[in-house]
Amino acid sequence: MADNNTLDRNETQDMISSAKVEGTAVYGRDGEKIGSIHHLMLGKRDGKVRHAVVSYGGFLGMGEDYFPLPWNELSYDEERSGYVVQRDADQLRGGPHYARDHEPVWDRAYEAQVTGYYA
Please answer whether residues 51 and 41 qualify as being in contact, where contact means their C-beta atoms are separated by less than 8 angstroms: yes
What confidence tens digit (pLDDT) does each residue in 83-118 have? Answer: 999 888 888 889 999 998 899 999 999 999 999 999
Q: What is the pLDDT of residue 16?
A: 78
Question: What mean pLDDT is reported for the chain?
Answer: 86
**Under 8 Å CB-to-CB from 67, ≥6 apart: which residues?**
35, 53, 54, 55, 56, 92, 93, 95, 96, 97
Domains of the chain: 18-117 (2.30.30.240)
pTM of the full predicted structure?
0.83
Of 114, 106, 102, the residue nearest 43 (C-alpha): 106
